[in-house]
């Protein structure tokens, strides 16, 4: 469950038989209008007996209703002067690069330090009276990111723009792509994960692939392979809670640093330096890198992919440079990876030492290939991590990421 989502459950009685689902929820969930609840139902954030239904669904006695109150806003909160990385801004909307560790909306137990608090200050959103006579800040955050996921998020500056952008998200017209570092090496270079996601009934903080969950579709493509890890580009067609984290774990390639879903995989990394580097990270390796939508006013396609981004953006930019190489040739991968990382000087002395050690190994492998078609250090293409340890370069990447 994200910090921006509150899960509620209801069990209907005989007195509720025949009542519309949206009306039933509107009577029981304070501060949520019937129209907002209808959108939740249409987005499959409401399940009845583990299945998505329509807002007009007529209830039966004993129905089990599960509701995820996505982005449930606090009734009132204070604008706060929190620095923002604003990628784009005009009079209608803004695109922000959210840092890891920042909650999007105030909610249960979190009333300050959120992205909404910062936006209210920087864009001077005003307090307005809403229909239920409660005063609230109408913050136009259109979609959500988990607390420890960094990256791009779009903010609408008025209700018209908010509704237009929300409709694009509902109709899947928005392009959202993430970069994720995962454990292992997928057999293919690209693929899709079409698996519904529901809440884990044994642990309400977790989601899981579930037969009767909400539909969820992720498209992935290998960007770079390392000895024990793979950097993926992941496009999501839906926006389910923890979608990428659940889907990559489902195919046995969980996100590095994700303690909730990788089932202790971080602790199984053989190389001590690499394992310690992962353990020292305050977050997991997932960043919302690309965002594209149609500007509601200009009707032009707007695309955002910052050259440098906070936190993992620095990591991803560092990895990308010079490392686009065929994944089927491990010796070439090692050399090209070393060349691509040769310019990284801000990762600290320990990272530079690792880089130097990797470069020496590469020079040695070149000499070996001069005498034989396959260097003796590489016993097979499947076992190319035997002695030329690209995990060492991964330690350097982590160091760069943490700076």
List, by residue number, the catalytic residues: 146
Q: DSSP 3-state helix, strand, coil percentages of the chain (rounded to 5)? A: 30, 25, 45
In contact, 136 and 128? CB cutoff 8 Å:
yes
Chain position carrying tokens 């409401």: 46
Chain position carrying tokens 């209830």: 59
- List beta partners, residue 176: 291
Instruction: Please tell me the distance from the alpha carbon of residue 395 to that of residue 298, in angstroms, as a whole number.
Output: 45
Q: 202: Cβ–Cβ under 8 A, 6 or more apart, which residues? A: none
Chain position carrying tokens 């005009």: 90
Instruction: Please tell me the distance from the alpha carbon of residue 176 to that of residue 154, in angstroms, as a whole number.
Output: 11
> Strand, coil or helix: what is 332?
helix
CA 183 from chain center: how many Å? 16
Q: 373: Cβ–Cβ under 8 A, 6 or more apart, which residues? A: none
Instruction: Please tell me the distance from the alpha carbon of residue 174 to that of residue 236, in angstroms, as a whole number.
Output: 10
Instruction: Please tell me the distance from the alpha carbon of residue 73 to that of residue 128, in angstroms, as a whole number.
Output: 14
DSSP E strands in 272-321: the ranges are 286-294, 301-304
Helix (H) or strand (E) holding 47: strand 46-48
User: Could you count the other beta carbons within 10 Å of the beta carbon of residue 157?
Assistant: 19
């Amino acid at each position: 469950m994200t910090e921006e989502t509150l899960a509620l459950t209801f069990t209907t009685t005989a007195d509720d038989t025949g009542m519309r689902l949206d009306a039933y929820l509107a009577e029981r969930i304070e501060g949520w209008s019937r129209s907002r609840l209808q959108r939740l139902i249409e987005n499959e954030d409401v399940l009845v007996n583990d299945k998505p239904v329509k807002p007009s669904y007529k209830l039966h006695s004993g129905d089990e209703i599960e509701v995820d109150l996505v982005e449930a806003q606090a009734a009132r909160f204070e604008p706060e002067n929190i620095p923002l990385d604003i990628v784009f801004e005009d009079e209608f909307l803004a695109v922000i690069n959210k840092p890891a560790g920042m909650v999007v909306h105030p909610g249960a137990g979190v009333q300050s330090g959120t992205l909404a608090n910062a936006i209210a200050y920087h864009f001077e959103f005003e307090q307005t009276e809403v229909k239920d006579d409660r005063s609230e800040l109408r913050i136009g955050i259109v979609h959500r990111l988990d607390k420890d996921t960094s990256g791009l998020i779009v903010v609408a500056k008025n209700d018209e723009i908010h509704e237009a952008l929300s409709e694009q998200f509902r109709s899947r017209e928005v392009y959202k792509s993430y970069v994720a570092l995962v454990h292992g090496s997928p057999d293919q270079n690209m693929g899709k994960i079409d698996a519904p996601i529901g809440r884990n009934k044994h642990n309400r903080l977790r989601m899981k692939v579930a037969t009767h969950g909400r539909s969820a579709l992720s498209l992935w493509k290998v960007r770079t392979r390392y000895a024990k890890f793979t950097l993926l580009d992941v496009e999501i067609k839906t926006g389910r809670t923890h979608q990428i984290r659940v889907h990559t774990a489902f195919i046995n390639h969980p996100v590095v640093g994700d303690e909730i879903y990788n089932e202790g995989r971080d602790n199984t990394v053989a190389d001590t330096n690499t394992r310690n580097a992962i353990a020292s990270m305050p977050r997991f390796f997932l960043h919302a890198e690309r965002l594209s939508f149609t500007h509601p006013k200009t009707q032009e396609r707007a695309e955002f992919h910052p050259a440098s981004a906070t936190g993992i953006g620095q990591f991803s930019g560092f990895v990308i440079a010079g490392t686009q190489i065929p994944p089927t040739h491990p010796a070439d991968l090692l050399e090209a990876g070393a060349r691509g990382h040769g310019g990284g000087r801000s990762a600290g002395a320990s990272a530079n030492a690792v880089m130097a050690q990797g470069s020496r190994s590469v020079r040695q492998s070149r000499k070996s290939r001069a005498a034989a078609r396959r260097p003796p250090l590489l016993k097979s293409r499947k076992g190319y991590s035997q002695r030329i340890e690209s995990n060492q370069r991964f330690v350097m990447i982590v160091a760069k990421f943490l700076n």
